[in-house]
Amino acid sequence: MKLTIHGAGYVGLVTGACMAEVGNDVVCVDIDAERIASLNDGAIPIYEPGLEDLVQRNAAAGRLRFTTETAAAVRHGLFQFIAVGTPPDEDGSADLQHVLAVARDIGRELDDYKIVVDKSTVPVGTADRVRSEIQGVLAAAGRQAEFDVVSNPEFLKEGAAVGDFMKPDRIIVGTDSERAAEQLRRLYEPFSRNHEKLILMDLRSAELTKYAANGLLATKISFMNELANLAERLGADIEKVRVGIGSDPRIGYAFIYPGCGYGGSCFPKDVSALARSAREAGYHAELVEAVENVNRRQKRRLFEKLHSHWGGTVAGKTVAVWGLAFKPNTDDMREAPSRALMEAVWEAGGRIRAYDPQARAEARRIYGDRDELVLCDSAMEALVGADALAVVTEWQEFRSPDFPRMRELLSEPVVFDGRNIYDPQMLAELGFQYYGIGRGQVPGAC
Confirm whether 266 is a catalytic residue.
Answer: yes
What letter represents residue 18's amino acid? C
- Contact call for residues 175 and 150 (beta carbons, < 8 A): yes
Q: Which of 196, 188, 102, 192 is nearest to 149 (CA)?
A: 102
Q: Where are the beta strands (DSSP E) in 63-109?
A: 64-67, 79-82
- Contact call for residues 338 and 372 (beta carbons, < 8 A): no
Task: Report the SS3 class of residue 192.
Answer: coil
Q: Which of 18, 28, 260, 266 is labelled catalytic?
A: 266
b or e along 143-168 (b: 16 or more beta carbons within 10 Å of the residue's beta carbon)? eebebbbbbbbbbbebbebbebbeeb
Tell me the sheet residues that pair with 414. 433
End-to-end CA distance of the chain: 60
Q: Please classify residue 250 by burial: count the beta carbons closer than 10 Å to its beta carbon, then call 0-12 exposed, 13-18 middle and 19+ buried.
A: exposed
Length of the chain equals 446
b or e along 5-21 (b: 16 or more beta carbons within 10 Å of the residue's beta carbon)? bbbbbbbbbbbbbbbbb
CA distance 365 to 381: 21
Catalytic residues: 266
